[in-house]
Amino acid sequence: MSKIQEILKAIESGKKKMMKTLVEEALAEGCQPIDILNQGMIQAMSIVGEKFKANEIYVPEMLVAARAMKEGVELLKPHLAGGQTAVLGKFIVGTVEGDLHDIGKNLVAMMVESAGYAVIDLGVDVSAEKFIEAIKANPDCNLVGLSALLTTTMPSLKQSVAAIIEAGLKDQVKIMVGGAPITQEFADQIGADAFAADAASAAAIAKAFVA
176 lies in the site for ligand B1M, by CB under 6 A: yes
What is the nearest approach in angstroms of ligand B1M to the Cβ of residue 78? 18
Query: Which of 198, 90, 101 is CA-nearest to residue 143?
Result: 90
Strands 194-195 and 89-95: unpaired
Binding mask 48-67 for ligand B1M (x = CB under 6 A): xx--xx-----x--xx--x-
* Dist CA 187 CA 177 (whole Å): 7
State how far the alpha carbon of 158 is from the alpha carbons of 39, 69, 153, 175, 187, in Å. 32, 28, 9, 11, 9
174 lies in the site for ligand B1M, by CB under 6 A: no
Which one of 14-22, 129-137, 165-173, 198-206 is the stretch in contact with ligand B1M (CB under 6 A)? 198-206
What is the nearest approach in angstroms of ligand B1M to the Cβ of residue 7? 14
Query: Which of 195, 151, 153 is CA-nearest to residue 177?
Result: 195
Nearer to ligand B1M, 59 or 211 (CB): 59
State the number of binding residues for ligand B1M (CB under 6 A). 39
164 lies in the site for ligand B1M, by CB under 6 A: no
Residue type, 37: L
Alpha carbon 142 to its chain centroid, in Å, reads 18
* Dist CA 131 CA 133 (whole Å): 6
Member of 22, 57, 196, 203 binding ligand B1M (CB under 6 A):
196
The CA R_g of the chain, rounded to the nearest whole Å, is: 17
Which one of 1-9, 16-24, 25-33, 197-205 is the stretch in contact with ligand B1M (CB under 6 A)? 197-205
Q: Is residue 131 within 8 Å of 144, Cβ to Cβ?
A: yes
Positions touching ligand B1M (CB under 6 A) are 42, 45-46, 48-49, 52-53, 59, 62-63, 66, 93, 98-105, 107-108, 145-147, 149-152, 176-181, 196, 198-199, 202
